[in-house]
Amino acid sequence: MSKDYYSVLGVSKTATPDEIKSAFRKLAHQHHPDKGGNDAKFKEINEAYQVLGNAEKRRQYDQFGSSFQHGQAGGANGFSGFEGFSQGNINMDDLGDILSGFGDMFGFSSGRSGRSGSRQKERGHDLEMGISIDFLEAVFGTEKEIKLNKKVTCHHCHGQGAEPGSKVENCRTCQGQGYVFRVQRSMFGSMQVQSACPDCGGEGKIFSKKCHECSGVGVVKDEVRLKIKIPAGIDNGEAIRLSGQGEAGMKGAPAGDLYLRIKITPDKRFHREGADIRNRVEIGVTKAALGGDVEIETVHGSLTLKIPEGTQSGTVFRLKEKGLPRLHSHGQGDHFVEVTVKVPTHLSKQQKKMLEELAI
């Protein structure tokens, strides 16, 4: 008895390929066994889509009904229900599209590496290292030379992996495609998935002789020296990213990045708060009461600070734009000076008498 595949998918006989595909997706989600659906119903939906989702099979079905499949030679393109999801039974582009819709729901991917065949080359690893600078170097910026051991492009083969002058041939395993197919069991049955060729690593080429310096991988370990410019105003713990200065990628793949983590040696004279600097200065009682000048040490050198009459201990004075450059914005930070009034000790009798007479 001929099966009505249009009714199974709930579409009309004039439905477009997109309408058929959409109906299949909806029903497959609804009746999938892993979602509590009926296994027999899911197989029926699968079988219907294998026919209606293929333009040639749909034409034959419309002409002869579902019995058309039995006349095909050897049953190579026949149906086997749930086992029918193989490259011989359904367009792999449709399958990849369908599986991409199921991937998030059922936790898998189609495993296809694309039509280009060759494996995408992985970039080299990122590297991170620490570098110490002193307080004033952070204020004004500096230049440092660093050295590190890392993977670099092989200078002998220029990253190709082949001994210069050696014969290059197409890989016999993958016929130069860079990928092979393997049969994998899934909830859809047996299916062919594409993966990088294990013999050529996805290159599609093999060499008669590997590079004697890098053993065919295209990279070697070497010590590298780099001159690094450290910008003015950088803060402790911040990182500088040097694009392409990480480890070289294998077989000509892009290099990773190098991250320099900054550690600033503290300065006992100053305390930093962002782009601002703070410190303290002691003055005597007389200068606090009568006012006067005091020399202040800043990162920009010594400056004269005028102390007004009657200055109290703990008073903070602001020296505008005498701090650090604002690295991530414009302008300059400030320098704040806190005044501490030093009360004299071990006074002589005359000094005590004078204070008593003032009785302030």
The yes-or-no verdict on residue 84 having pLDDT over 60 is no
d(CA 161, CA 217): 5
Residue ranges of the chain that CATH labels 2.60.260.20:
271-358
The yes-or-no verdict on residue 79 having pLDDT over 60 is no
The yes-or-no verdict on residue 259 having pLDDT over 50 is yes
pTM flag (> 0.75): no
The yes-or-no verdict on residue 81 having pLDDT over 60 is no
Class of domain 5-106: mainly alpha
Confidence of residue 118 (pLDDT cuts 50, 70, 90): very low
Residue ranges of the chain that CATH labels 1.10.287.110:
5-106
CATH for the stretch 271-358: 2.60.260.20
CATH for the stretch 127-265: 2.10.230.10
Mean pLDDT of 18-23: 90
The yes-or-no verdict on residue 152 having pLDDT over 60 is yes
The yes-or-no verdict on residue 105 having pLDDT over 70 is no
d(CA 103, CA 188): 13
The pLDDT mean for the chain works out to 81
Residue ranges of the chain that CATH labels 2.10.230.10:
127-265
The yes-or-no verdict on residue 329 having pLDDT over 90 is no
